[in-house]
Amino acid sequence: MPSGPLAAALAYILWGLFPLYLKQMAQVPAMEIVLHRSAWSLLFMVVLLALLRRFAWLGAALRQPRTLALFSVSALLLACNWLLYVWAVNNDRLLDASLGYFVNPLVNVVLGYAVLQERPRPAQWAAVALAAGGVLWLALGAGHVPWVSLVLALSFAFYGLLRKTASLGAIEGLALETLVLAPLAVGGLLWLGATGQGHFAQGDARVDLLLLAAGPATAVPLLLFASGARRVTMATLGLLQYLGPTIQFLLGVFVYREPFSASRGIGFALIWAALALYTTESWRVTRRQRSAEALA
């Protein structure tokens, strides 16, 4: 793997560019794309584990009901997040999707307080309040709650919480999640094929290759992220994580020409201000801690 910051940056850049890949399959329903994504990810992970000779953990994991239950829930959260994200991209809601991943770090702060008994600092609470104001502004301007953004942010935040407290590493955890989803993914694809509703192996080689690529397109960024996250500070990771939604936002506005009114811009600006406050405060605290450690 590349060095830590480069690996993490590549992961977020690939996630940011993912809509370019999905838009090439706009004729394929979101559910079918997610089924292929799960099935080919499992195959990719099996090959990777075989190359690394890392199957010893699997037997123990399958005999632990708590581990199985935990990863079953995380797998379903991940699948729901994938499904809504694919649907949003292919239904011209990319800006809503990018907003969800901008809000996600601040949802993590609230979950850390509510579940892990973490104590956010006053500036972090101010960032959360500012972001909440941005979401409220967007809701008032649109006449409805920005549900796509909120569901994406919440589902990925709860997924991250479960993975943070899980006993398995990144590779093993992703392998178990894809294994849990395998019956649904393979069964769903077989049903689509039997009823003539599937798009795979229907004479369009381009679509076939794109669907086959769903496995590595899903697993490679996750593995780059896992590699990089272990070798960079949380402050650095906090800055890098905005690469993905920023690229998505730019694609939505300048490539796919999704509507972006001045009113909507105010809501985004409030959330960007919240992220700037959150990131700057985290960076200052990390720098202060490093200085104290150096003096000690």
pLDDT tens column, 119-173 = 878 888 888 888 888 888 888 887 778 899 999 999 988 888 887 777 787 788 8
- The reported pLDDT for the residue numbered 1 is 45
Residue 233: its pLDDT value, please?
Answer: 62
Mean pLDDT in residue range 15-40: 93
In this structure, are residues 127 and 182 in contact, taking their beta carbons and an 8 Å threshold? no
| DSSP 8-state symbol, 46 | H
Q: What is the pTM of this model?
A: 0.86
Domain edges within the chain: 4-295
Amino acid residing at 79: A
Nearest-angstrom CA–CA distance, 107 and 200: 37
What lies within 8 Å, CB to CB, of 231 at 6+ separation is 3, 4, 5, 7
Tokens of residue 200, six digits: 């795979």
SS3 201: coil
Residue 46: predicted pLDDT:
92
Averaged pLDDT score across all residues of the chain: 86
Q: Is the pLDDT of residue 5 over 70?
A: yes
Mean pLDDT on 220-249 = 76
